[in-house]
Amino acid sequence: MSRTLRGADVFGRALLDWSNGGVTPEVVERDDGLFDVGAGPEVYLSGVRGWPLAERQAMGLVEGRVLDVGCGAGRVALHLQKRGFDVVGLDASPLACQAAINRGVSDVWCRPLERLGSALESFDTLVMLGNNFGLFGTPQGAQRRLAAWAKHTQPSARILVESTNAYFGGAPSMDRQYYRRNVERGLLPGHARFRYHYGGEVGSWFDWLFVSRAELRTVIRGTGWRVGEVVGDSLSEPYVAVLEKV
């Protein structure tokens, strides 16, 4: 029987286990009762050849010093590090940070997004791959955080942010019935609420946001950022957008 532990770092524990050779995937529970087997180490520890096309294309857009936001076990940071970039992995999970260190990421910061502040001034590119636009949780969360980041980053700084259109079957654990339910509740179709199950433990609920390209432009309006180049062709696959200063 699983134990629900308030505030438990269940996904971080999974990442740490995988970094030590574990292979059991996480289970994702949606707030309407759907359970889905997660992506597991095959995705979260994947080398660049196993990444979605948009992520591979986005690597050609990285410049200067890099902050890998929500680095997890460090797959993106490791790739950039091997290419000679000065890159810092960032994650709020102490266990995820330990997993990244185990795998060889040389510089890892363990802190939440809201505690970055003026530390952002030294970075040229912020990378948010792995559908990590969802880290903002809600449209309001994205607007608040991006507006703060606009104040603390260099004029030339940019953000490579990944998301997936919720409407065409590519967003994990999203389906037509669920996004229609969201619309009826006055939410964006790609607004999801999940929690992780792993190793007999259940984590806390968290919000995650998948947005289409058009929704991304709407959400970030007025934050000090605009959408520049977008890579990724298929509507059912992840895309990466370059956010530039207005």
Closest to 164 in 3D by CA, of 113, 234, 228 = 234
pLDDT for 183 equals 94
Domain of 123 in residue numbering reads as 3-245
What local confidence, expressed as pLDDT, does residue 168 receive?
Answer: 87
For every residue of the chain, DSSP letters joined together read --EE-TT--HHHHHHHHHHTT--PPPEEEETTS-EEE---HHHHT--GGGS-HHHHHHGGG--SSEEEET-TT-HHHHHHHHTT--EEEEES-HHHHHHHHHTT-S-EEE--GGG-GGGGGG-SEEEE-SSGGGGG-SHHHHHHHHHHHHHHS-TT-EEEEEE--TTTT-STT--HHHHHHHHHTTS-TTEEEEEEEETTEE---EEEE---HHHHHHHHTTTTEEEEEEE---TTS-EEEEEEE-
pLDDT at 7 > cutoff 80: no
Please tell me the predicted confidence (pLDDT) of residue 55.
98
- The whole-number pLDDT of residue 217 equals 98
CATH code for position 154: 3.40.50.150
pLDDT confidence band for 1 (50 / 70 / 90): very low
Beta bridge partners of 29: 35, 195
Query: If you average pLDDT over residues 99-116, what whole number do you get?
Result: 96
Query: pLDDT grade, residue 3 (50/70/90)?
Result: low
pLDDT over threshold 80, residue 4: no
Q: Model confidence over 110-154: pLDDT tens digits? A: 999 999 999 999 999 999 999 999 999 999 999 999 999 999 999
Q: How high is the pLDDT of residue 8?
A: 77
Tally of domains within the chain:
1
C-alpha 172: how far from chain center? 12
The per-residue pLDDT for range 25-41, each reduced to its tens digit, is 999 999 999 999 999 99
pLDDT of residue 233: 84
Q: Supply angle C-alpha 85, 151, 189, rounded to 5.
A: 85
Residue 67's nearest CA partner among 149, 125, 27 is 125
pLDDT in tens, 56-82: 999 999 999 999 999 999 999 999 999
Residues with Cβ within 8 Å of 161's Cβ and at least 6 positions away in sequence, in order, are: 128, 132, 133, 216, 240, 241, 243
